[in-house]
């Protein structure tokens, strides 16, 4: 293996102080006050990385109305974030290795702060898209910085616990955004959200400038073919995100450009794969990616993130369909945030390599239980009815992130550090893709089931049915004080009744969504347990039985 070419000659560290790998900070001893400072900066950066997009998602309807956007146009705002966030991780790791941590931290957060401040003065749709895209880059760097700062805050013996805490910070920021945004909007119009986001970005930039990470080893890692791969993969991921985000809004089979975008995405991925497969030092190690164990890891990580959409899409979608406003959802998201914090703390306290599998199995079981508890929802349900189930799911979501990341990381170390960037990109893509895939698939399923239930209910509603006639009469009486025309009251009554039918059909459809999530979770749990039992049998019981039989045959012969 060729010796690395240093960009800057590293300091004369002691052996125990040397960074674990290029691009990581040195492992220096810190005083307790300095460790606390590193912890607080990690907390600030991690929250900043996830809060911006969370605020936009929580207030997307208000932003859509303020800018006069259609639902399709509004959906491009979170889509721009995911498009850039997934592709930014392709270059984040190598940027740290070649240009150093300080340049990486200050430039990443500096550009984000500059754009968010500029957005305070330019309130246009195009500027909003630009800010969402830049926030995707900032989130990719902020998530890495949060972990690196958290590692400095913990003693060396608690490295894995620090890693779990740092990884979950950006996830905790999402429910926190729902808790904070109604109060921020009450203070002043919704552009105050941008002021809050800009303030966080500036505070994070100031924090990384004042409290710098220890130096790292800088080596030459970029090759010109890396940028060719980046130029191919970036539009491929962007097109795939566009299809998944806009598929439900524009409907899959009614919008031709979705098919063309998906086809173009697959072609670009194929060209990038051919290029990377033929390289001696690839940016992405496709041979490792196509290994059965890696594919199993990818499927499990995407499925876990997909099932957590029961929370972000299922329950929230149901409550908003029933007329709940963001302010009424604050207590629910407060419970979700508490669940994530407790899940993070629990994961950090109990984690060990021997418990990885059991922590993941516990997470799957909790998600399945949450889906089962939500299964029999009615139109009378309110946010407090979902407190327990959503606490379980949020606890599980925080509990599984660390173990599944570290289990994949251990597989990478067995292959070599040159595979690390492939794993970082892979994990980022699985989490972001699972987050987009959940609403896309579940939204399609819910829309189809709503249509089916609406038709089933309407097929049984005959005008001669006494109950239907009575309900129409009640609906018409509600308009008696405002409309004196009997024909107009009858029309309004029928329209109101159709809305009730649609609402009840939607509730039934969401129940099917909860049932689907529960079935997926328990099926996944059963598969994982069977696989564990089979693996233990092959590794432990089967060799002993085979050895005993062989010994007996040898003795008899």
Q: What is the pLDDT of residue 482?
A: 62
Predicted local confidence at residue 381, as pLDDT: 85
Angle formed by the axes of helices 71-99 and 420-459, nearest 10°: 170
Give the torsion through C-alpha atoms of 44, 46, 47, 51, to 10 deg: 140
Rounded CA separation 397/413 (Å) = 25
Q: Which residues contact 391 (CB under 8 A, 6 or more apart)?
A: 335, 336, 338, 339
Which of the four pLDDT bands, split at 50, 70 and 90, describes residue 544? Answer: low
Q: Are 49 and 137 contacting, i.e. CB atoms less than 8 angstroms apart?
A: no
Coil, strand, or helix at residue 8? Answer: strand
Please state, in angstroms and rounded to a whole number, the distance separating the CA atoms of residues 371 and 390: 9
Distance (Å, whole) CA 256 – CA 246: 12
pLDDT of 223 reads 80
C-beta atoms surrounding 84 within 10 Å: 22
What percentage of residues in the chain have a pLDDT greater than 90? 5
Contacts of 331 (CB under 8 A, 6+ apart): 383, 384, 387
Q: What is residue 455's predicted lDDT score, i.e. its pLDDT?
A: 83
For residue 527, count other CB atoms closer than 10 A to its CB.
12
pLDDT at 142 over 90: no
Over residues 213-230, the pLDDT tens digits come to 887 777 777 788 888 888
Residue that wins the pLDDT comparison between 22 and 246: 246
Entry pTM? 0.83
Q: What is the pLDDT of residue 549?
A: 47
Joined together, the tokens standing for residue 173 give 């920021």
Write out pLDDT tens, residues 367-383: 888 888 888 888 888 88
Question: CA-CA distance, 536 to 217, in Å (whole number)?
Answer: 41
Instruction: Look up residue 456 and give its two tokens.
Output: 């089933």
In the prediction, which pLDDT does 475 show? 61
User: What's the burial of 328, exposed, middle or buried (CB within 10 Å: 0-12/13-18/19+)?
Assistant: middle
Distance CA 426, CA 279 (A): 19
Which 3-state string (H, E, C) describes 13-47? Answer: CCHHHCCCCCCCECCCCCCHHHHHHHHHHHHHHHH
189 pLDDT higher than 60: no
Mean pLDDT of 351-360: 81
CB 143 within 8 A of CB 172: no
Closest residue by Cα to residue 336 from 288, 276, 384:
384
The helix/strand/coil state of 407 is helix
Q: Within 13 A of 345's CA, how many CA atoms are on the CB side?
A: 6
**What length does the chain have?**
557
* Spacing of C-alpha 428 from chain mean position: 9
Of these ranges, 48-52, 292-296, 329-333, 427-431, the one predicted with the greatest mean pLDDT is: 329-333
Contact call for residues 17 and 28 (beta carbons, < 8 A): yes
In order of 163, 440, 449, 513, 531, the CA distances from 445 in angstroms are: 36, 9, 6, 7, 29
Whether the pLDDT of residue 2 is over 80: the answer is no
Q: For 469-511, give the secondary structure using H, E and C.
A: HHHHHHHHHCCCCCCCCHHHHHHHHHHHHHHHHHHHHHHHHHH
- Average pLDDT of the chain? 80
Instruction: Return d(Cα 448, Cα 481) in angstroms, integer.
Output: 38
The owner of tokens 């070419």 is 5
pLDDT of 25 over the 60 cut? yes
Element (H, E) at 218: strand 218-219
Give how far Cα 241 sits from Cα of 82, 84, 244, 269, 450, Å: 7, 10, 5, 13, 25
pLDDT (mean) for 142-170: 84
- Greatest CA separation for the chain: 105
Q: Which two tokens stand for residue 513?
A: 């969504």
Who wins on pLDDT, 216 or 151? 151
CA distance 13 to 10: 8
- What pLDDT digit, counting tens, does each position of 36-93 carry? 999 999 999 888 888 888 888 887 877 787 778 888 888 888 888 888 888 877 777 7
Contact 154, 393 (CB under 8 A): no
pLDDT tens digits, 250-279: 788 888 888 999 999 999 999 988 888 888
Say yes or no to pLDDT of 440 above 90.
no
Whole-number pLDDT of residue 530:
85
d(CA 507, CA 554): 68
Per-residue pLDDT at 506 exceeds 80:
yes
pLDDT above 70 covers what percent of the chain? 85
Cα 76 versus chain centre, distance: 17
- Smallest CA-to-CA distance from 276 within 323, 236, 218 is with 236
What is the C-alpha end-to-end distance of the chain, expressed in Å?
A: 51
Model pLDDT, residue 553: 46
| Helix and strand totals (H; E) in the chain | 20, 2
51 or 23, higher pLDDT: 51
Mean pLDDT of 493-498: 70
**Helices in 122-158 by DSSP H: which ranges?**
125-153
Mean of pLDDT values over 118-141: 81
């Amino acid at each position: 293996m060729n010796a690395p070419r240093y960009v800057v000659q590293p300091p004369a560290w002691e052996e125990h102080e040397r960074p674990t790998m290029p691009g990581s900070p040195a492992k220096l001893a810190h005083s307790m006050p300095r460790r606390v400072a590193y912890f607080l900066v990690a907390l600030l950066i991690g929250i900043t990385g996830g809060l911006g997009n969370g605020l936009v998602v929580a207030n997307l309807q208000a932003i859509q109305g303020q800018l006069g956007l259609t639902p399709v146009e509004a959906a491009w705002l979170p889509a721009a974030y995911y498009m850039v966030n997934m592709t930014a991780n392709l270059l984040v790791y190598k940027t740290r290795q070649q240009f150093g941590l300080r340049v990486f931290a200050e430039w990443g957060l500096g550009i984000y702060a500059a754009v968010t401040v500029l957005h305070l003065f330019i309130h246009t749709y195009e500027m909003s898209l630009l800010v969402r895209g830049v926030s995707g880059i900032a989130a990719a760097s902020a998530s890495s910085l949060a972990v690196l700062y958290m590692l400095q805050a913990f003693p060396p013996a608690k490295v894995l616990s620090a890693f779990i805490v740092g990884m979950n910070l950006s996830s905790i920021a999402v429910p926190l955004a729902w808790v904070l945004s109604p109060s921020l909007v009450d203070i002043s119009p919704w552009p105050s959200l941008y002021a809050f986001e800009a303030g966080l970005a500036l505070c994070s930039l100031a924090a990384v400038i004042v409290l710098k990470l220890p130096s790292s080893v800088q080596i030459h890692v970029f090759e010109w073919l890396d940028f060719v791969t980046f130029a191919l993969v970036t539009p491929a991921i962007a097109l795939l995100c566009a299809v998944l985000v806009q598929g439900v809004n524009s409907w899959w089979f009614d919008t031709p450009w979705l098919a063309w975008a998906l086809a173009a995405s697959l072609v670009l991925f194929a060209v990038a794969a051919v290029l990377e497969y033929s390289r001696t030092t690839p940016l992405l190690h496709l041979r490792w990616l196509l290994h059965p164990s890696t594919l199993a890891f990818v499927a499990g990580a995407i499925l876990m993130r997909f099932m957590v959409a029961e929370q972000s899409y299922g329950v929230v979608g149901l409550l908003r369909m029933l007329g709940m406003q963001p302010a009424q959802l604050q207590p629910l998201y407060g419970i979700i945030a508490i669940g994530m914090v407790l899940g993070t703390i629990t994961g950090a306290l109990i984690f060990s390599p021997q418990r990885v599998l059991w922590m993941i199995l516990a997470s799957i079981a909790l998600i399945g239980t949450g889906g089962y508890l939500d299964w029999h929802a009615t139109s009378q349900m309110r946010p407090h009815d979902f407190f327990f189930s959503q606490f379980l799911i949020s606890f599980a979501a925080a509990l599984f992130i660390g173990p599944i990341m570290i289990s994949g990381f251990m597989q990478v170390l067995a292959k070599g550090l040159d595979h690390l960037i492939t794993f970082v990109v892979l994990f980022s893509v699985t989490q972001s893709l699972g987050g987009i895939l959940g609403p896309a698939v579940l939204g399609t399923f819910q829309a189809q089931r709503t249509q089916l239930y609406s038709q089933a209910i309407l097929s049984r509603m005959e005008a001669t049915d006494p109950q239907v006639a009575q309900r129409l009469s009640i609906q018409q009486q509600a308009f008696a004080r405002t409309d004196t025309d009997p024909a107009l009251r009858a029309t309004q009554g029928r329209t109101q009744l159709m809305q009730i039918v649609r609402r009840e059909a939607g509730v039934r459809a969401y129940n099917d969504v909860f049932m689907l999530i529960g079935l997926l979770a328990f099926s996944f749990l059963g598969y994982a347990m069977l696989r564990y039992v089979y693996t233990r049998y092959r590794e432990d019981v089967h060799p002993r039985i085979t050895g005993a039989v062989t010994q007996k045959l040898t003795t008899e012969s």
